Amino acid sequence: MHGSRRGLLIGAAIANERYFTMKPGSIRLLLIVLTAMAAQAIAQQATTPVNPVQRELIYCADQMSHEEREAYRAKMQATRSAAEKEALRTAHRRDMQERARAAGREGQCEPLGPGGIGPGAGQGRGPAK
């Protein structure tokens, strides 16, 4: 017997019990609550994308303006092959390192270390200065 069919049979058996009594106002309230819950579930399904777009982290994005980040993303979407994407990433990395060097912020765009924090594998920024 399937789970949903068994649930209906159990529900019917409970409804037939003499202990189960519900006033008409309570039934209306229950129907309103169930309808609201169903509407909320449907609305949530409608707003949740089936395949959310996964955006890659842009190297040194915090050093770029919003317009620069959007232009970079547009270029990445326009590329056709993995080799073109890698060439664009390499050129972008070189340009951002050059920009950081010119602004005196060399090393700020280094990739994250194994722990996800800074260039090293340590537990923070190091000793206080």
The answer to whether residue 56 is domain-embedded is: no
Note whether residue 34 is domain-resident.
Answer: yes
pTM of this structure: 0.46
In a domain, 80, yes or no: yes
**Does a structural domain hold residue 12?**
yes
Q: Which residues contact 56 (CB under 8 A, 6 or more apart)?
A: 76
- Mean of the pLDDT values across residues 79-103? 92
CA distances from 46 to 35, 39, 40, 65, 80 (A): 16, 11, 10, 33, 31
Residue 109 lies in a domain: no
Q: Supply φ then ψ for residue 112, to 5 degrees.
A: -70, 145
- Rounded mean pLDDT of 58-85? 92
Residue 32 lies in a domain: yes
Domain count, the chain: 2
Percent of the chain whose predicted confidence (pLDDT) is above 90? 25
Domain hosting residue 21, numbered range: 3-47
**Residue in the structure block whose two tokens are 């340590």:** 122
Residues 65 and 43 in one domain: no
Per-residue pLDDT tens over the stretch 16-50:
555 556 666 777 888 888 888 888 888 877 666 66
Nearest to 65 by CA among 54, 56, 77, 73: 73
